[in-house]
Amino acid sequence: MARASTRLPPFLLLLAATCAAVANAQLSENYYGSSCPAALLTIRTTVATAVLLDRRMGASLLRLYFHDCFVQGCDASVLLDDTPSFTGEKGAGPNAGSLRGFEVIDRIKLLLELICPGTVSCADILVVAAHDAVVHLGGPSWTVLLGRRDATTASASLANSDLPGPNSNLNDLLAAFSKKGLSSTDMVALSGGHTIGRAQCQNYRNRIYADTDIDGTFAASLRGDCPQGGGNDGNLAPLDASSPDYFDNSYFSGLLSHRGLLHSDQALYDGGSTDGLVRSYASNNDQFGSDFAAAMVKLGNLGVLTGAYGEIRVNCRAVN
C-alpha cells in the first residue's frame, strides 16, 4: 500500500514562504535601537549570569525557544500560565515537567520593564535569549531580527500534535519540519542543538533497552540510572556525552558511533536520507554552525505577530 506523501501542496508552501517574507520585512536588527537601547545588553548579561550559575540553562533556553516557535510561531505563547478560564501550553505532553528557563525570562522582563516599560516583547526576549545562550556555550552567532509581538492565545493541542517526540522516526521528523516550511537540512541542523543539554530517563528508556541500532557499551552505561521496569523517570543523561555543555559538532560524531541518546537522535543516521549530512556535520563544525545559524533565523520567522497583531505583555506569564 502506497504511503501518503508528507509534502505540503505547492500553493501552501508558496503561502508559507510569502507570509515569512512579509513577517521578515517587518522585523529589523535595530528595532529597539532608540526605544530601548539597553535591551540587548540586558538580555545578554542576564543569560550569561544564568548559564554561569547553571550550565544546563543554556540548553533549556534554546529548547524553550524551539517549543515556542514550533507551536503557533514565535509569539511567546509557551510562556503563558494556565488560569481557571485558560489552558496554556506548559502542561502539554512535550512540555510538562521538562521545560525550564521561565524564571530567567521573568528576570529579563522585569529588568526591561524598569528600563523601558511596555516596549520589549516576551517573544523577542525568547529569541535573543536563545541566541545568547548558544553563543555563550561556544556556538555560532547570527543576525537576530526583532519586532515580534506577543500572542494573547496558546494551544496545548498544537503543542501535543506538532512538537516532534523523542521516539520519532526519520519520516516523522521530516514531516513535522516540512509542515513548518523547514527543510531536511534545517531539521538536521536544528537537531544538532542536542549537542547541549540532557534528557530524562522516561524519554530514552525504550531506546537503551529495545533499540538495536545503539552501541552496546553506551546502552549499558545508561541502564543503572534508568531501570527497565520503571522508576527514576526524571533522571538525566547528556544528549551529547562528550561535551554536554559546549556547543560543537560532537553530537553528530556520537551518531556515527550509534550513541544517539534518543531514538529521534539516532534516526538522523540510520541508513536514511540524512546520513550524508550527519557525516558532513561530524567532519565540519563550520558547516554545521553555518547551517544551524541559518535554520535558527528561519525558525525565528515562523508565525510572527507584528504591527497591530498581538500585544507587548507586561508579565510574560499572562496576557495584559
Give 41-58 pLDDT, tens digit per residue.
999 999 999 999 999 999
DSSP H or E run through 237: strand 236-238
Looking only at the bridges linking them, the beta strands covering 236-238 and 198-200 are antiparallel
Decide if 313 is inside a domain. no
Cα 26 vs. chain centroid, distance in angstroms? 23
176 shares its domain with 156: no
141 & 198 share domain: no
Q: Does residue 109 form part of some domain?
A: yes
Is residue 288 located within the same domain as residue 184? Answer: yes
Using a 10 angstrom Cβ sphere, with 0-12 exposed, 13-18 middle and 19 or more buried, the burial of residue 228 is exposed
3-state secondary structure of 318: strand
Domain annotation covers residue 22: no
Our measurement of the distance from residue 220's CA atom to the centroid of its chain's CA atoms, rounded to an integer in Å, reads: 29
Say if residue 265 carries a ligand binding annotation.
Answer: no
- How far apart are the C-alpha atoms of 178 and 8, rounded to whole Å? 7
Instruction: Specify whether 236 is located in the same domain as 147.
Output: no
Are residues 123 and 194 located together in one domain of the fold? no
Range of the domain at 233: 170-299
- Do 153 and 62 belong together in one domain? yes
Give residue 135's pLDDT: 98
The C-alpha atoms of residue 309 and residue 290 are separated, in whole angstroms, by 32
Q: Are residues 61 and 141 in the same domain?
A: yes
Residues 201 and 115 in one domain: no
| Confidence category of residue 26, pLDDT binned at 50, 70, 90 | confident
Cell triple for 20: 515569512
| Residue (of 239, 272, 264) closest to 253 by Cα position | 239
Instruction: For residue 104, tell me if it sits in a domain.
Output: yes
Is residue 28 situated within a structural domain? no
Region 127-146: what's the mean pLDDT? 98
In whole numbers, what is the pLDDT of the chain averaged over residues?
93
Provide the CATH number for the domain around residue 194.
Answer: 1.10.420.10
Q: Are residues 227 and 184 in the same domain?
A: yes
Is residue 73 annotated as involved in ligand binding?
yes
For residue range 229-243, list pLDDT tens digits in order.
988 999 999 999 999
Say which CATH number the domain at 50 has: 1.10.520.10
The percent of residues in the chain predicted with pLDDT above 70, rounded, is 92
Q: Model confidence at 86, in pLDDT bands (50, 70, 90)?
A: confident
pLDDT for the residue numbered 257:
98
Q: Using CA of residue 95, residue 100, residue 102, residue 105, what is the dihedral sign? A: negative
Question: What pLDDT is attached to residue 11?
Answer: 43
The distance of Cα 307 from the centroid of its chain, to the nearest Å, equals 25
Domains in the chain: how many in total? Answer: 2
Which residues sit opposite 105 in a β-bridge?
none
What is the DSSP track for 9-69?
A: PHHHHHHHHHHHHHHHHH-BTTTTTTT-TTHHHHHHHHHHHHHHH-THHHHHHHHHHHHHH
Q: 213 among the known binding-site residues?
A: no
**Does 205 have pLDDT greater than 60?**
yes
Q: Note the pLDDT of residue 25.
A: 52
Query: Which is the catalytic residue, given 67, 131, 136, 263?
Result: 67
At 5, phi and psi to the nearest 5? -70, 145
Helix 39-53 to helix 122-136 angle (10° resolution) is 50
pLDDT at 38 over 60: yes
Question: Residue 3: pLDDT above 90?
Answer: no
Direct distance between the N- and C-terminal alpha carbons of the chain, in angstroms, rounded to an integer: 52
Whether residue 143 sits in one domain with residue 54: yes
Could you read off the pLDDT of 266-301 as tens digits, one per residue? 999 999 999 999 999 999 999 999 999 999 999 999
Out of 162, 194, 227, a domain closes at 162
Which of these, 59, 44, 63, lies nearest to 128 by C-alpha position?
44
User: Same domain, yes or no, for 181 and 295?
Assistant: yes
Euclidean distance between CA atoms 127 and 300, whole angstroms? 7
| Residue that is last in its domain, among 146, 162, 178 | 162
Instruction: Specify if 17 maps to a domain.
Output: no
Checking if the pLDDT of 5 tops 80, the result is no
162 is in an annotated binding site: no
Instruction: Tell me the whole-structure pTM to 2 decimals.
Output: 0.91
Query: Do the annotations mark residue 89 as ligand-binding?
Result: yes
Note whether 127 and 244 are same-domain residues.
Answer: no
Over its C-alpha atoms, the chain yields an Rg (Å, rounded) of 19
Is the predicted pLDDT of residue 14 greater than 60, yes or no?
A: no
Average pLDDT of 26-46?
A: 97
What's the pLDDT at 13?
44
The answer to whether residue 138 is domain-embedded is: yes
Which DSSP letter does residue 81 get?
P
| Residue 178 marked as a ligand binder | no
- From the number of C-beta atoms within 10 Å of its C-beta (0-12, 13-18, 19+), residue 74 rates as buried
Count the alpha carbons within 13 Å of 75 in the hemisphere toward its beta carbon: 24
Please give the grid coordinates belonging to residue 174: 521530516
Q: Of 145, 162, 179, which one is at a domain's C-terminal end? A: 162
Cα torsion at 10, 16, 18, 20 (round to 10°)? -150
Q: How confident is the model at residue 2 (pLDDT cuts 50, 70, 90)?
A: very low
Cβ atoms within 10 A of the Cβ of 286, count?
10
Residue 67 among the catalytic residues: yes
Is 215 a domain residue?
A: yes
> Could you give the CA distance from residue 277 to residue 207 in angstroms, rounded to a whole number?
23
